[in-house]
Structure 1
Amino acid sequence: MKQIRKSITILGEEILPGRKKILNLDTARLHTYTKLEVPVVVERAKADGPGLLLLAGIHGNELNGVEIVRELLAKKYTKPDAGMVISIPTVNIFGFINQTREFPDGKDLNRAFPGSRKGSLASIFAHHLMNEILPHVDYCIDFHTGGARRFNSSQIRISRDNEELLGLAKIFNPRFIVYAAQREKSFREAATKTGKKVLLFEGGKSHDFNQRITMRGVTGTLRLMQHLGVRGFPEELDKNIFPPPVMVKNSTWIRARQGGLFRFFVKDGSKVEKGQVVGTVSDPYGKYEFKVKMPQCGYIIGLNHAPVVYKGDALLHLGVI
């Protein structure tokens, strides 16, 4: 395991053992000549150990990840006993301010990695994150939520055939562990190619907080920190408050066969049976009502909370165990 050096410099600032610093990742200016500054909280222990990066808000409207990292910072859970913890609660700071998914240049930051010095604004920022922050850590937790009114049960997404990541995901203990391919040009793909161990956390939906999802994220992060030797698990929290995760080897979206008003009869995370009616889609005038039936057994790992849907819209994300 890589050990943190006695002398370490991040973003031009020397970080001494046992110290905490709040830095600014300053990479570019907007058309208003406003600096694009992203706060980066760096906390080092006096003892050597692994480096852990807590990353949230790559999509500016995905707030539940921001809340998880905020909770960890506010309660000083990010102060390490060994190694170093780098926390970036709002990676896409301007998307966070404007409550939009995209970067200020209209690009999806999570499709801009590993970035380029001479690319788009999102690409430039991705390049600096990859080259100025990532080299100092060994492990990353990338916090996301569902988008477009879709609510995700707490889940860790990992690649198949990676036993180390599977072990770390089990330590984190989300509701579900989902095998999911890496998206091209995502932070997860780019960081993995450099040898970093990345857990992608999904939970909740955009523009929303959910206390259950927040607690899962906080508890899971602390369980992982304890496993890595970064810090002990806080005595005031219950380490085993949640049951073991369910493994999801395959998943599929159930889509609307007709547009209309969507109402669902199940909760996220529920186990469903083949043929079970889990919702209906109807017109506003009471002329028709289509039942949404499950094509096979599984678990609801994602659920569309939108009351109005179009034909072809994703209604439910069904995980097959």
Structure 2
Amino acid sequence: MADLLTVGNVTAVPGKIQYGQWEALAHPTGHTEFFPIILAQGKTAGPCLWLTAGIHGTEQAGPLAIYRLITEDLLPRLHGTIVALPALNPAGLRTMQRDPYHANDDPNRFWPEKKVISATDPDRDPPSSLERAYQGLYEEIVTSADYFIDFHNAWIGSLSFALRDRILYQPGDAADRDRALALAERLDKMVTAYGHTVVNEYPAETYIREKLHRTASGSVLQKSRIPAFTAELGTGLVPDPAIIQAACAGTRNVMRWAGMLKDDTEAIEGIRVIRPGYAVRRMRTPRVPEACIVHHLVDAGMRVGKGDVVAEMRDVWGRPVGNRVIRSSYEGLVLGRTNGVYFYPGQPIMTMAVRDGDSLTAPYPDTY
């Protein structure tokens, strides 16, 4: 626990919850945008846990989980410090849009990466005001954080799950590989303590191509080697109270594992927790072969086998299309259905957790 920890305009006080703000950016209309800060510190020393939420404006369960977690009842039991920022994208939250109107891109791809990008290319757009804000906030996070959780939502009706990134290392660097292995072991214990379904991220090449190393948790994990993961909390705009309660219980269990709470582990109740008996990773599958209207026949949490029928295909009049049905190409678990029923060729109709035979560490791809 850092002495006199200050974040934005607020300084931690042992035994108290403090509220403040982190000045993020200025608008050309003369007002400024800030990120609200909740800073809770116990009376005894311990680790520092950072919690963030609300980086996508349509994902609003995370702020509620933070508000419910950080209470006066928690303080007497707390060893260490919680730094929480429940609204990383105020513009998106206000307008209920995933991306902020002033950045026009996914804000969860704005965080610093390990590779140094040249700032002298005149044809390259400079970072947006929001990206610069996140870069500054990142420096504050890694100065004090021992652990980091970023709360998100996946799809309507989807499972609650912990999304675990693979730890990337420099090819040919044995010491960096060893550090990655040690960090992967710590991260495994952290997501196991959280107690929800655990799903691994994409393989390394897809991970880099999708810029997932530039998410909030990916940046903290890959660049600064701080244990971090994304907690996906089901539906976004109509949060599920049971998932919010389970997220609070899971976060307290992470705090128990980290030594921030000394009482007994809580059971994760009220949600489906699936342990398939083998490691799984997320995959957007299956995909429609032609333009059609999809009638899903499976839902989040259901297990499917390779070749199982998971949906029917119809035209706009309701008549069968093509082979009439869509079959799963993999054995696995349905994490959630893609929103909507109207699909173009190649679009995925759901996201599954499929068997993952890859290591939890991997070298950076040659293309990076």
SS of aligned partner of 1:305:
coil
Q: How far off its partner does 1:145 sit?
A: 1.5
Mapped to 2, the partners of 1:153 and 1:240 lie a distance apart of: 13
Instruction: Determine if the alignment matches structure 1 residue 11 to structure 2 residue 33.
Output: no
User: Is the alpha carbon distance of 1:272 and 1:135 closer, same or farther for their aligned partners in structure 2, counting shifts above 3 Å?
Assistant: same
Please give the residue correspondences for 1:93-112 in structure 2 after superposition, counting only pairs within 5 Å. Answer: 93-103=90-100, 104-112=102-110
Deviation string, structure 1 residues 100-129 (Cα, Å, up to 9, x no partner): 111332132211112999731121211221
Q: How far off its partner does 1:85 sit?
A: 0.4
Note the aligned Cα RMSD (angstroms).
2.6
Q: How far off its partner does 1:240 sit?
A: 4.6
TM-score by length of 1: 0.87
Aligned to 1:153: 159
Aligned to 2:199: 177
Instruction: Determine if the alignment matches structure 1 residue 207 to structure 2 residue 237.
Output: yes
Q: How far off its partner does 1:232 sit?
A: 4.6
Instruction: Determine if the alignment matches structure 1 residue 239 to structure 2 residue 232.
Output: no
Please give the residue correspondences for 1:213-228 in structure 2 after superposition, counting only pairs within 5 Å. Answer: 213-228=243-258
Mapped to 1, the partners of 2:287 and 2:4 lie a distance apart of: 54
Which of 26, 30, 33 is the equivalent residue of 2:30?
Answer: 33
Q: Which runs of 5+ in 2 are unaligned?
A: 120-125, 167-180, 356-368
User: Is the alpha carbon distance of 1:295 and 1:250 closer, same or farther for their aligned partners in structure 2, counting shifts above 3 Å?
Assistant: same
Q: How far off its partner does 1:291 sit?
A: 0.7
Mapped to 2, the partners of 1:76 and 1:37 lie a distance apart of: 28
Amino acid at match of 1:29: A
Aligned to 1:73: 70
Q: How far off its partner does 1:313 sit?
A: 1.6
Q: How far off its partner does 1:296 sit?
A: 2.6
Which deviates more, 120-129 or 170-179? 170-179
Aligned to 1:167: 189
Instruction: Determine if the alignment matches structure 1 residue 281 to structure 2 residue 307.
Output: no
Instruction: Determine if the alignment matches structure 1 residue 54 to structure 2 residue 51.
Output: yes
Which of 135, 160, 172 is the equivalent residue of 2:143?
Answer: 135
Aligned to 1:272: 304
Mapped to 2, the partners of 1:186 and 1:197 lie a distance apart of: 14
Percent identity of equivalent pairs: 21
Aligned to 1:45: 42
Amino acid at match of 1:306: G
Mapped to 1, the partners of 2:242 and 2:93 lie a distance apart of: 22
SS of aligned partner of 2:340:
coil
Mapped to 2, the partners of 1:225 and 1:31 lie a distance apart of: 41
Mapped to 2, the partners of 1:155 and 1:234 lie a distance apart of: 22
SS of aligned partner of 1:41:
strand
Aligned to 1:263: 295
Aligned residue-pair number: 314
Aligned to 1:21: 18
User: Is the alpha carbon distance of 1:314 and 1:47 closer, same or farther for their aligned partners in structure 2, counting shifts above 3 Å?
Assistant: same
Mapped to 2, the partners of 1:150 and 1:259 lie a distance apart of: 22
Which deviates more, 305-314 or 43-52? 305-314
User: Is the alpha carbon distance of 1:74 and 1:282 closer, same or farther for their aligned partners in structure 2, counting shifts above 3 Å?
Assistant: farther
Which deviates more, 156-165 or 168-177? 156-165
TM-score by length of 2: 0.77
Q: Which runs of 5+ in 1 are unaligned?
A: none
Contact residue 155 and residue 178 of structure 1 kept, 8 A: no
SS of aligned partner of 1:255:
coil
